[in-house]
Structure 1
């Protein structure tokens, strides 16, 4: 395993590479998407540390191998948090580079934006070993293409991230959750839509079919949360309101897909919120379990790691006009199926041109983001 401890060493490793590299942080996402066939593993786990934290400016910069747990601990000391609420599904050992590289975003995405929206700048090494710097420490500092956002969610297929600058926000004083019980999936989406369309600034909206309940989160100062929760509760009649402690525990479960039973494989399907129930229904018909997040626009599914189960997920996503991601599964399944939807001819041509400009030798995570 190649484990550079500095950006200079990283650039030297890339320049000296003659065969494909499997780029990773701590390897927590190695079971995600297509398996990479590479001669060497390039680990960023040796490039750790927070290099800048300006709480008054709401900005942090850290090396790509810095663990999520370290970042969250440093932010918590100053009463701040990562805005995108990244999932701990892959454990506390996952790194900042992995979170940004996979664009990991939690329930707050519907109100606060995805991880991509909060990346201010990156330093990286391209496929020829050249060190590149994009963006900076403030918003609106980019003219032309915002390359930092292009690299966010590229899964290490364009360049190797070495350092990331991102925006943070204060932790809210209080959190409340309105729980609407006794709903099927379509009624759950209707309840979430009503909450998100209300004037009460809902920051999370999820539906768990196993509990037949929809959840609407409100975060702010204590008096404001209490007022808005009560007003929203009145719209639903018999709805329950959870306090801050119970709300935070619930949304950690939803953020980490912990409301699902253990399964061999895990899928994520993105659709229009109104189509979420149809995907859930089709998956449940073949024995998969799931729930809805992002107001119904994100469907989490788990079940056996079989081609039949994966085919059912793909068919349901296509029928709903959505896309799927195979987030976790044994290597044989990931090697045999389309882990993401096939690219259109025009999109594939565009991706090849972009990839050629960053990684002309094609050495970074080859085929990681391709369907098959």
Structure 2
């Protein structure tokens, strides 16, 4: 039966890791537990529960900086920022429904450890582009910090970029400094109806290359659009290609009108205003269209946007496949009834052909143990990953094997 260590401050985190190092005892790092089903399954008899390291420590709206404990609920942070008309511009995903949860349970560190990035990724970047600094305890049981509460910070190695997306395999984070930005006054979405994947990529490319500052571009095939809670999407009866425009009211209205005129040649055009727009982009952000059936595996596939249509069409030939794309065609979410070795090979063969990568986001424990969850790394990159792990965690104490076997 697994035991649990629950430190209340950074000193106790250091002591817990020191005990684990001395005893050769691997630790499973847990904040709020909403993302435990991500990554490879691994054996750890002891849980390092960081849930006590929660709460906003400092928030300066005028400076656009927020400092918080790693287990601070995202819901708490988003509520506080909304009160000051601000936001986390990287749009952290809420994967609760996709992973079979019942309510929003994610934490700030959880979003950073998976390098979360929602539809605004194509304009504002992912989590690693908004992490200013952090404090943590390495697998050597040493406290360290990197970055600072300022945007212009270039001293030393850029460890915030490295720690994001590390899935807790390099360090136990104890404090986080993150950049925030003003929340847009209005959010409109131009919809182009009835496009096939290739035409949708052309429309999204035209919008992204326009002067209208499109902040998100997604394509939802008709079968998944019918699942939307937004009536304009649900009742369209056709595929929906969506382009988001944000900012001050008059500017948004003018840019939307101009974009509609430029895209008129692609087909029927509709428009969502702020409330419906926000609802729709939450559906895209949180992959709600593929939330059920919860037992079906879901892949997250990153490819060059120009190759998105061809990869999506190739993978849609697999039995029972359902998909939609984000990031102007560069991100494909794919649901398959089963992810056997054969299915995984087909997915990765299609992705490798265009220089992309595929991650198995949702699957049963047995499938995640049998099928590589993260895209296999080229030998030189795999060797570098091992050296980085050894530098931070030489005895493989922190989430060992969660990303790659033996790392």
Q: TM-score, normalization: structure 1?
A: 0.97
Q: What residue number does 1:222 align with?
A: 249
SS at match of 2:173: strand
Q: Which residue of 2 aligns with 1:256?
A: 286
More divergent stretch after superposition (165-174 vs 335-344): 335-344
Deviation digits for residues 153-209 of structure 1 (CA, Å, limit 9, x no counterpart)? 111111111111010011110011000011000100111000000000000000012
1:74 aligns with 2:80: yes
Aligned counterpart for 1:311 among listed residues 323, 327, 345: 345
Q: Residue 10 of structure 1: which of 8, 13, 38 is its match?
A: 13
TM-superposed CA distance for 1:261, in Å, is 5.6
Residue 164 of structure 1 is matched in structure 2 by 176
Give ranges in structure 2 of 5+ residues lacking alignment. 97-102, 223-237
SS of alignment partner, residue 30 of structure 1:
coil
Alignment-derived partner of residue 345 in structure 1 = 379
Note if contact 1:21-1:365 (Cα within 8 Å) is conserved in structure 2: yes
Which residue pairs with 2:402 in the alignment? 368
Q: Which moved more, 1:321-330 or 1:82-91?
A: 82-91
1:103 matched to 2:115: yes
**Contact 1:188–1:214, Cα closer than 8 Å, also in 2:** yes
Give the match for residue 208 of structure 1.
Answer: 220
1:111-159 CA distance string (max 9 Å, x none): 0111100000010000121111111100122323101111011111111
Name the structure 1 match of 2:185.
Answer: 173
Q: Which of 268, 272, 278 is 1:242 aligned to?
A: 272
- Compute the displacement of 1:279 (Å): 2.1
CA distance in 1, matches of 2:12, 2:104: 26
Q: Give 2:105's match in structure 1, choosing from 79, 85, 93.
A: 93
- Out of 332, 335, 356, the position equivalent to 1:299 is 332
The within-5 A match list for 1:25-44 is 25-44=31-50
Q: Distance in 2 between matches of 1:270 and 1:259?
A: 18
Contact 1:159 1:358 in 2 (8 A): yes
**What displacement does 1:14 show?**
0.4
- The 3-state SS of whatever aligns with 2:92 is coil
Q: Distance in 1 between matches of 2:405 and 2:297?
A: 17
Whole-angstrom CA distance in 2 between matches of 1:43 and 1:142: 32
- Contact 1:100/1:153 (8 A) holds in 2: yes
Identify which of 104, 107, 113 aligns with 2:125: 113
Aligned residue among 277, 302, 311 for 1:270: 302
Report the Cα distance in structure 1 between the residues aligned to 2:60 and 2:188, rounded to whole angstroms.
Answer: 29
8 Å Cα contact 1:341-1:371 kept in structure 2: no
**Alignment-derived partner of residue 355 in structure 2:** 321
- Give the C-alpha shift of residue 110 in structure 1: 0.3
Equivalent residue for 1:45? 51
Task: After TM superposition, give the deviation of residue 306 of structure 1 in Å.
Answer: 2.9
SS of 1:204 mapped into structure 2: strand
Q: 1:58 aligns with which of 59, 64, 74?
A: 64
Superposed displacement of residue 92, structure 1: 1.9
Q: For 1:177, what is the secondary structure of its paired residue?
A: strand
Separation in 1 of the partners of 2:135 and 2:337?
A: 39
Determine the C-alpha separation between the residues in 2 that align with 1:4 and 1:303.
40
Provide Cα deviations, 1:245-304, integer angstroms capped at 9, x if missing partner.
111111111111113361421110000011111221222211211111001000011122
Q: Is 1:125 aligned to 2:155, yes or no?
A: no
- Between the two proteins, the alignment pairs up a number of residues equal to 372
Kept in 2, the 8 Å contact 1:305–1:330? The answer is no
In the alignment, the residues of structure 2 paired with residue 180 and residue 81 of structure 1 have an alpha-carbon distance, to the nearest angstrom, of 28
Residue 290 (str. 1) matches residue 323 (str. 2): yes
SS of the aligned residue for 1:343 comes to coil
